[in-house]
Each structure stands twice: as structure tokens, then as C-alpha cells.
Structure 1
Amino acid sequence: MDLMCKHVVLRRCWLALPVIGNRSLYFNAYSMKSNHSVPWYRERFEKQDHRDKGSKSRVKGQEHRSSILKIPGVVTVRDLTKEKLCEHLAQNVVYREGPLLAINKPQGLSIAGTSEEVTLLSILPELQQKLQIKPALQVVKSAPKQSSGLVLLSTCHVTTQKFEDYYVQCRKSGNPFTTFCAVTVGVPSPEEGEVKVVLKADEIGGLDLVVPVMNTSKGSLERREVKRTETRYKVLNSGHGCSLLQLQPMTVFQDQLLVHCSLKFCPVLGDHTYSSRVAKVLGENIYVPVDDALPKTQLLEDSILRRMHFPFTQLDRMPLHLHLHQLLMPDHPPGQYPTHLTAPLPPFFQRTMEFLGLKLEQ
């Protein structure tokens, strides 16, 4: 990807900043007290149990003016007990065949972590018992902690190895096997392409963050201090200054998709870590130096907040709109597996799309 440099004065010093493109910048779970077991991604956005037509109309109007925090709500993993989280995952199985099991996980659920943290691995025994699966489940492929979406599990070591080998071959041959959907603030230019940049993990302001590296030495690559990363992207739909992006990472690196989107001046909606690196000066998009762009609540234009009926005072609760939507499956032997697995978009994600006039063609 070609990079052009503009010199922008910030904090009384000249900085060479990469400008990529010229576009402008800028589930609270369904109540776990529910007395039925309908998966959260199939829940209707409008309540159906009102007694008369007049009350239905009033409630429908109230719901239309409610933010995604209220209707349909956003799953907050840290607020769920292990039992409720296990129940939630059991209700959101999207594929189960032979030794394979796929679930649609909420954002904020990590695969592994500290002993004090509730993770997928920490509740796998309870999940197996609830689903009446006796062999131990192993994680084959998963959406990262901060995003929602697919988690593929297996009870067979041979099957797990087969899938891992298949994904290694996909990566070597340049065949994308994971497809994410994201709502972004801004529309990338061009609307289809790829982001290629070297990234490294760095400590800035006492925080572990990922930063792009403009000047890379052969030695740093060999020592794996930095890594070449690549993401293919495509605008599926756009409207009201936002876009629905398809993202296909060709490499794996911490926070890769979030950083790549910020480099295209279209940070992911709800990204409170890297969106501060994108700003405007005299109407021009600029990339703010990482030392001056520590994580903070993402700021949104009033027009977007009004369309989403989202209160400014609760911007820090805007959920990350990043979802592992599809996962490619091995094609050998033919017919043994579906061509790909799909995890439906979370209800809050779908409602945001409605507010912004974004559509996902099936």
C-alpha cells in the first residue's frame, strides 16, 4: 500500500505523518432472567407480550428512540456469573457435528487469561456438561477477546490438528479463512484494497499498545521484534459517514484489525483504544503521533449520536462493532464439512446498522 507523507504541525514540532487515502474521518445482555432459551442473536428487537395494539405502538415508538444499550442491550461478560455465561454460550451453538462444535461468543470473552478472570477455557468443563459432551473440548480457532463471533471447538485431537494444518496452508497460499464484519466511523479510500504495514507491541504511558513501524531493519524482523501484517478490506455498504467493512486478516497480530482501520482513517465504532490516533486539522485527516494519542473514549459526531439515539454521557459504553462472521472449512474430503461456518451478527450490531442505514447482503 502506497503511503504519502504530509508534514503537519502538532505541539510546535514538525512530524512526518502517513496519510492513507483522503476521506474524512472522522447486549447489557438480554436479561439472563429470561424464561425461555431463544438464542440472543435470534431475539426480536420488539417485545411481543403487550396486551393491546395501542400499548404495542407506544412501546415500538419508545424502542425506536432507545439506544442499543437499552434495546436490544449489550452482553457484558464481566457482569455474568460463570453459570449464566455458560448458559449463554450453550444457547448460542451455531454448529455441532461429529467432534466439532461452534459457538457465537460475546465480545469481552477471552479464551485464556489469569486465574481471577472468567475465560472460555475456565468454563469449558461446565459447558461440556451442559451440552452433554464427554470428551474434552479443545479450541481450534476463535475470535479475539475484544470482538464477538465464532469459536470453533473440537473433541478430537486428530481433527484439531487437521484443521490447524489446513489454516497454516491457507495462510501460506494467501487464502483468507477468517472474515470479520465491522462498522467504522468513516469510509476508507479506496473502498477495496489491502493494508500492509509493519507493527510492533510497545509500552506507551504504561500501557501495552500496538504501533506501526515506518523504518524497519532486517535484524528486527529476524528477531521478531516487529512483524509484517496484512489485512484485505472491502466496503460492503456506507451511509451517514460510516461504513460496513469486510475485513480478512492475512496475518495474526495483537489488535491488528483495529490498528489497520485507524490507519485508513476509519476507526472501528466503539474502539476506545486506537481511535484517538485519528483526527482532523483544517479539514484534513491526520494520524496523531502515538505518544500523544493514548487510549480514551471514542468521540463521535453529533449527527451519528442523534441517529443512534446514543447519549453523549455514555459514550464510554459504546460497544466495539467488530465480529468474526465467517470461518472457512476444509474442503477435503469433499462434502464432509460445510464450505464455511457463519455466526450471526449480535443484535446491537444489527440495530446500529439499522440506525445508520447499513445493509449486509446475504
Structure 2
Amino acid sequence: MSTVKLLGVWVSRHLKSRCIFGNTRINYYEAPRCLLRPGREFGTVSEKETDVTPGRKRGLRAADIAERLRHEKQNKAHTTNKVPVSPVQRNVAELKQITQQLQSVHPNVFAKALSKSILYQDQNLIAVNKPYGVPVYSTGGIRNSIAESLPVLAKIIDGMKGGSELHVCYNLEKDTTGILFLARTEETAERIHNLIRSHQAEKRYMVITVGVPVPSEGVIDIPIIEKEVMGDQHHFKMALSPLYRPAEEGDGLVRVRAHRQAHSAVTRYKVLDSSSGCSLVELQPITGVKHQLRVHMALALACPILGDHKYAHWNKLAPQKLPEGVLRRLGLEQSKTRHLPLHLHVRQITLPGVRGHGRPHCVLPPSQILHSSYEKTANRAT
């Protein structure tokens, strides 16, 4: 048996003169000697080895001390490594978790969840609040989509009646949220699609932008074209294709020839509120070009939409870099911005008329914008 003085062990670990294990305070200089098994730093002491003289107080075993030291060390490491989490970080994490759950549940469960988000309903149309991160049409690696859930959703709405049908009227990007119209018949769906494509339907979006647009209200009329971005991360993005360029002689503009592949793109915008370097902006697209609102805000007004990581940088794909003031207001670190969702939301749609109806419209109240975590993030940003 080897004898070890606990006093020597504690001194070698640079501890103070007293130590508290749980509710027990131990004076190091009164610590008894402890017998350990050979070849083991800490071992289980046998009953024979722990026998004490009658009338003498039993000492603390080495195994007990080792366990308490280990427990204290783990608690200290847990406390040291614990990083304070801001409300926005919790909301973003919650939204990410919900998005993952929507893709992992059974399609029937997803359809039932979608039925609880109905905003408007009549004999021809149904409007739902499209959740974040769910595509309208199925893509690779995606389990659930709006289109795939429509047969089950139609039966849920009609009380499992046979022959019920629903059809998507228009497409929304996976990360866009808000009002999505579903039609009872293919004829109605095609009619609404044509109304939107011919710009007869009025759509209004709500976005949070990084930066304050100047002027606070106006119209952006700049064509958009798809371009190839070369480099380590080869990809395609939509870009501006202006019809004017600065004159080489000095002040003024010179009209240039329109690119054959460019699409006319017009967006009306209005700043509703701004604070701490962010703005709440209402957008009304007059045309319907791919990524039109995101490109016009990021490249035309230099005020990208919060959470738009695709257009945060032109020559690379990387998380959006936010100003220090915005990070402080949101309570986020720059390394956490990659989890921020795209703050692009369809708030209102007004149709000119469907089968004799007046002007069917759907307005999503601010309290129902996407999800509570999304709304709280937007409130803190503005």
C-alpha cells in the first residue's frame, strides 16, 4: 500500500487553504491520510482499509474526494463555457427547429398543420399562411411541400369528402412567407395566375431592410438579368441591367441598348418605419421577375433584406454581414447571422374579381406574420 498525503496533493494543485464540497467545509491541515490501491490514482477502499479506531471520527475517503473534485470541475467548465443567449438567438433557433420538424413529419401531419393556417376561404378560393422554409413545389431532398400536401389538405377542409381538389395559383420562394391562394378548380387557378402574371392583382410585401432607403418612397424601374458568377463558388444570381450609364464627358446620363435577355422590373416601395439602421418597408411589385424585390433592395437601393444571404455579397456565397449597431440591437454575434431567416413576407393580395365576386382580398394581420419568433426578430430590428 502506498500512502499519499492529501495536503501534498492539494498544494500541488494550487488550491486555497480551505475547500467546500457541497455543504461540507474541509480544513486542509486537518485532512487525514488516505490509503489507495497501488497503480490507481483514485480507487475504492476496502472495508478493512477503512477501519478506524473505536471512538475516533471516521475520515473522508479518497474516492469521495475524487468524485467531488470531478463534479466541481464539470460544473465549473459548464459555467465557464456557457454563452449568454439573446432573445433573438432563441427565436431564430426555435424557427430553425420548427422548419426542420415540418420537413421530418409525415405528409399527412404536415397537411393537418397547414389546415390550421387558413386565412381566407370561400367557394372558389382558400388562402393559407405559407410557413418559412417550405417550398410550394417539391425539390430534391425536400420531403414536404405545399403542392404535395393539397390532396390531403382538401379532404381535411371538406371533412374527408371524396373528390375534393385544391390547386396552387402562383409560386412563392421557399424562404418567403405569407399569403398563398389555393383554388378549388384548375380553371380558377389558371385565372388567378393570369391576373398576377398580367399585373392585375395587387400584391404587397413587408420586409425588414438593413439600411434606410433614400428617398423614403419611390419607384425602382431597372431591368434585371441573370448572370453567372465565376470563382471558387460558381453560381448564378440575378443582377441589374440598367438602361442608362453615367456620361463620360461629365454630368448626365447616356441611354444604352437594352440587353436581349434582361427583363423589365418595376417595384414601388415605401418606408414605414426605421430605427437603429434598419427599416420596415412595404414593397409592391408591378412586375414579377425572379428575385425582383431582393435584387432591387440590395443592388438598386443598397438596402438588402435582413437574412438575404444570397445577395449580401455579389462575388461569393456567405452569411450576411451586419453593421455593429444592428448586431447590438438584435443581440447577435456576426458568426450567428447565418441562421437569420429571410424577412420577406406577403402581407396583402387583392384580386380584381373571381366569378362575379367584387374584389376578393386577403390581409394578414401583423400578429400573424410568419411565426412568433420571426415577428419578435422583426420587432427588435425596427
Alignment equivalent of 1:195, drawn from 220, 224, 249: 220
Contact residue 180 and residue 323 of structure 1 kept, 8 A: yes
1:323 alignment counterpart: 345
Matched, 1:107 2:132: yes
1:107 counterpart letter in structure 2 = Y
Contact residue 139 and residue 152 of structure 1 kept, 8 A: yes
Shift of 1:249: 0.8
Shift of 1:317: 0.4
The 1:107–1:217 alpha-carbon spacing in structure 2 relative to 1, beyond 3 Å, is farther
Give the Cα separation in 2 of the matches to 1:210 and 1:104: 27
1:274 counterpart letter in structure 2 = Y
Alignment equivalent of 1:230, drawn from 266, 290, 295: 266
1:204 alignment counterpart: 229
Shift of 1:165: 4.2
Give the Cα separation in 1 of the matches to 2:88 and 2:353: 46
- 5+ residue gaps, structure 2, are 1-84, 244-255
TM-score by length of 1: 0.67
Alignment equivalent of 2:168, drawn from 129, 132, 139: 139
2:238 counterpart letter in structure 1 = V
1:252 alignment counterpart: 288
1:90 alignment counterpart: 115
Contact residue 176 and residue 250 of structure 1 kept, 8 A: no
1:164 alignment counterpart: 193
Shift of 1:120: 1.7
Q: 2:92 is paired with a residue of what secondary structure?
A: coil
The 1:202–1:63 alpha-carbon spacing in structure 2 relative to 1, beyond 3 Å, is closer
2:277 alignment counterpart: 241
Q: 1:146 is paired with a residue of what secondary structure?
A: coil
1:326 counterpart letter in structure 2 = Q
Shift of 1:211: 1.3
TM-score by length of 2: 0.64
The 1:104–1:202 alpha-carbon spacing in structure 2 relative to 1, beyond 3 Å, is same
Shift of 1:329: 2.3
2:92 alignment counterpart: 69
Matched, 1:130 2:130: no
1:22 alignment counterpart: none
Shift of 1:208: 2.1
Q: 1:274 is paired with a residue of what secondary structure?
A: coil
Shift of 1:63: 8.0
Shift of 1:302: 2.6
Based on CA coordinates, which of the two structures has the bigger radius of gyration? 2
Matched, 1:299 2:328: no
Give the Cα separation in 1 of the matches to 2:103 and 2:355: 43
Give the Cα separation in 2 of the matches to 1:74 and 1:246: 28
Give the Cα separation in 1 of the matches to 2:319 and 2:140: 28
Give deviations 1:80-108, integer Å, cap 9, x for gaps. Answer: 32344323311111112112111101122
Question: Would you tell me which structure has more strand in proportion to its own residues?
Answer: 1
Alignment of 1:261-300 (within 5 A): 261-262=297-298, 263-276=300-313, 290=314, 293-300=315-322
1:345 alignment counterpart: 369
Contact residue 151 and residue 164 of structure 2 kept, 8 A: no
Q: 2:236 is paired with a residue of what secondary structure?
A: strand
2:379 alignment counterpart: 354
